[in-house]
Structure 1
Amino acid sequence: MKNYVIKILINGVGVYVASILAKPHIEFTGHGIGLVGTVLLVALIFGLLNTFLRPIVKLFSMGLLIVTLGLFTFVINALMLWLTSKISEHFSVAFHVENFLFAIIGAVIATATSLILHALLPDDKKK
């Protein structure tokens, strides 16, 4: 459970960094619950999509993943980010991704940020 919460927080930071670098095409407006609350809620939605939907999408796109040597993963990550935007808009959470092209850009930025933050965390495994 602790690792899942850390992953959600790191994904939230990654999406927030993407919104800073790709502004105004990816943005948090932070109405109602404030910017921090909005980022946490979007991170939760993104984390749930990555936990439950992403493995199914990866399973059905296994052929493309193999042919592209894994680069199709960026398209899957972009799809998850774009779906996060659509679900957020549906529930009036102030997060918006303009189109799928910017979802790809945001996914690359969020993935890079998440990889860096995961690398900085100490390893929980004991020898």
Structure 2
Amino acid sequence: MKLLIKWLLSATALLAVAHLYSGVEVKSFTSALIAAFVIGLLNTVVRPLLVVLTLPFTILTLGLFLFVINALMFWSAAGVLDGFYVQGFTAALIGSLIYTLLGLVIESALERLFFK
């Protein structure tokens, strides 16, 4: 149940990102659902590999390179989907930052809801 609610709220967060920032476009809620799923899948499968491969650079930049990795995951999802568009790397960086902040709020709310 928690996973389903988190997925729906993540899709809503993507719609909010598109509303707040013009560099990200989402055509419909269905597109947002698919994009949230793909972003989650990329973050589960590809992101850990990138983090390990770029660990020296991440250490050198004091962890700031993780923002670049997040932006790449966001941009990659837009690259493989119809209905979810990101207008370049800068837009992916800003969009992923907003999406991450909204995701933190969602996670915090779900923790309080399911684990009082």
TM-score of the superposed pair, with normalisation by structure 2:
0.86
1:26 maps to 2:19: no
- The answer for the alignment partner of 1:98 in structure 2 is 87
Deviates more, 1:93-102 or 1:6-15: 6-15
- Aligned-partner SS, 2:62: coil
For these two proteins, the number of residue pairs brought into alignment is 115
1:21 CA displacement = 1.1
Tell me: CA distance 1:123–1:68, structure 2 relative to 1, closer, same or farther (3 Å): farther
Deviates more, 1:97-106 or 1:64-73: 64-73
Deviates more, 1:93-102 or 1:2-11: 2-11
- The answer for the alignment partner of 2:79 in structure 1 is 86
1:72 pairs with one of 65, 73, 79: 65
1:40 maps to 2:28: no
Over 6 Å off, 4+ runs: none
Deviates more, 1:12-21 or 1:106-115: 12-21
- Aligned-partner SS, 1:70: coil
Q: For the residues of structure 2 that align with 1:118 and 1:50, how far apart are their CA atoms?
A: 15
The structure where helix makes up a greater share of residues is 2
Alignment check: 8 A CA contact 1:14 1:111 kept? no
Q: For the residues of structure 2 that align with 1:66 and 1:94, how far apart are their CA atoms?
A: 36
Tell me: CA distance 1:54–1:6, structure 2 relative to 1, closer, same or farther (3 Å): farther
Alignment check: 8 A CA contact 2:12 2:29 kept? no
Alignment check: 8 A CA contact 2:38 2:77 kept? yes
Q: For the residues of structure 2 that align with 1:10 and 1:71, how far apart are their CA atoms?
A: 27
**Unmatched 5+ residue regions in structure 1?**
30-34
Kindly provide the CA deviation profile for residues 51-106 of structure 1, in whole angstroms up to 9, marking residues without a partner as x: 11111111111112222222211111100010000000xxxx21100100100000
